[in-house]
Copies of this chain bind each other. A is one copy, B any other.
Amino acid sequence: MLKMKQLKSKITKDGGLEVYLVETELPDPAGNRLIVRMEAAPINPSDMGPLFGPANMAEARLESESGKSILKATVPAERLAVLAPRLDQEMPVGNEGAGVVIDAGPDPSAQALMGRTVAILNGRAYAQYASVPADKCLVLNEGTTPKQGAACFVNPLTALGMVETMKHENHTGLVHTAAASNLGQMLNRICIADGVPLVNVVRKQEHVQLLRDLGAKYVCDSSLESFPADLEDALAETGATLAFDAIGGGRMVNDILYSMERALSRGASGLNTYGSSSLKQAYFYGGLEQSPAILNRNYGMMWAVGGWLLTPFLKRIGKEREAELRQRVADEITTTFESKFTKEISMEEALSPEIVQQYFAKKTGEKYLINPNK
């Protein structure tokens, strides 16, 4: 038995969010299980849901109860219904991370990994140790540090998944919003390497420059008045009919579908009641803005939008292809799939309301890393 600290999140039936550290124990590893000492786990936007749900984090506070520090906040009553399955339960948090194998079950596949640095996607990475089956780890190449390998799954496989989805669904180019993000820069590197036309949509002029400096050919700034025309031109040149949107709320996806239709209809003549015959597809893969998405449907009938999620996508491409993608991530983790971290914090620091405000803001280019053994 290995004692350890682990970060947990609970939302109570009356809408109280509580995030705190618990002392717990890990059983000794059996079979092909490994014990990984966690040294680096990123705070991704996708960790916010498990951590905080829809709580009002602007008013989060740290309270002390019988010597235990508890980060508290309130979930609006109208958001509780969809949270029913998790209410009043202590939830593990932290999608992914990396560390060093310090113990292994008797299985030779596990024994072979003693001392190796591995990346894991276990949904409970904000803990000092993790117990994972050997075949579920991504074994990092010699010389890769846990910090370098902390973010091997969520962003890299999502970025690769966008390109794979494009191929699977017979599109030939991509649009990406919030494109200056860590993931956006990664996607830009993949698309340059793989020769995939990519239209980057950003919201600030400084991000245009950032992406151009990284070799991006098409960067459209949605804060400019010329945005609809710029976007339409980029779409006409690239032929991109598939968009991935990180924002969720507002009119961005609507405006992209409209510009796609305009680009596709160039030179068309005739009744065209239902618009162009090419499918215009947009996927929401994130929700940086919680406001509703507005669809005015002014782009014919051949359009589709929906949620895009990594796990069902990986099921769809099959184990063999997933293994290839994972290996590419391991091999290019310090280049194509590099993540830059603004700050490394401990699990205790992750509970500080001041620090929560910083990483909860999900500012483009800022990314926090938890070191559970700091």
What residues make up the interface of A, taking CB atoms closer than 8 Å to B?
A: 46, 49-50, 79, 81-86, 89, 91, 123, 248, 254, 261-262, 265, 268-275, 277, 284, 287, 292-309, 311-312
Known: A265-B84, A270-B86, A274-B309. A292 touches B301 (CB 8 A): no
Chain B residues, CB < 8 A from A86: 269-272
Known: A85-B270, A91-B271, A268-B85. A304 touches B306 (CB 8 A): yes
Pair B298/A295 contact, Cβ less than 8 Å: no
Chain B residues, CB < 8 A from A79: 298
Chain A at the B interface: SS class: mixed
Chain B residues, CB < 8 A from A305: 295, 304-306
Show 13 A/B contacts (Cβ-Cβ < 8 Å), sorted by A.
A79-B298, A82-B261, A82-B262, A82-B298, A82-B300, A85-B270, A86-B272, A248-B297, A292-B296, A294-B295, A300-B307, A305-B306, A306-B306
A-B pairs, top 9 by smallest CB distance, nearest first, are: A304-B306, A301-B307, A85-B268, A85-B272, A292-B296, A49-B273, A301-B309, A293-B295, A292-B294
CA–CA, A51 to B305, complex, Å?
A: 29
Copies in the assembly, this chain: 2
Known: A300-B307, A307-B304. A265 touches B50 (CB 8 A): no
Chain B residues, CB < 8 A from A312: 277, 302
CA–CA, A265 to B85, complex, Å?
A: 8
Pair A303/B295 contact, Cβ less than 8 Å: no
Q: Which residue of B lies closest to A46 (CB)?
A: B273
Pair A85/B298 contact, Cβ less than 8 Å: no
Pair B91/A275 contact, Cβ less than 8 Å: no
CA–CA, A304 to B293, complex, Å?
A: 13
CA–CA, A254 to B295, complex, Å?
A: 11
Pair A81/B262 contact, Cβ less than 8 Å: yes
CA–CA, A49 to B298, complex, Å?
A: 12
CA–CA, A84 to B298, complex, Å?
A: 13
Q: Which residue of B lies closest to A267 (CB)?
A: B85
How near does chain B come to A225, taking the closest CB pair, in angstroms? 16
Chain B residues, CB < 8 A from A123: 271
Pair B306/A303 contact, Cβ less than 8 Å: yes
Chain B residues, CB < 8 A from A268: 84-85
Contact of A297 among B261, B277, B292, B308 (CB under 8 A): B292
Could you say which of A49, A268, A269, A271 has the most chain B C-beta atoms within 10 Å of its C-beta? A271
CA–CA, A261 to B84, complex, Å?
A: 12
Pair B50/A275 contact, Cβ less than 8 Å: no
Q: A85-B268, A302-B312, A304-B304 are in contact. List 10 more A-B contacts (CB 8 A).
A: A82-B298, A82-B300, A84-B265, A274-B309, A274-B311, A292-B296, A293-B295, A293-B296, A302-B307, A303-B306
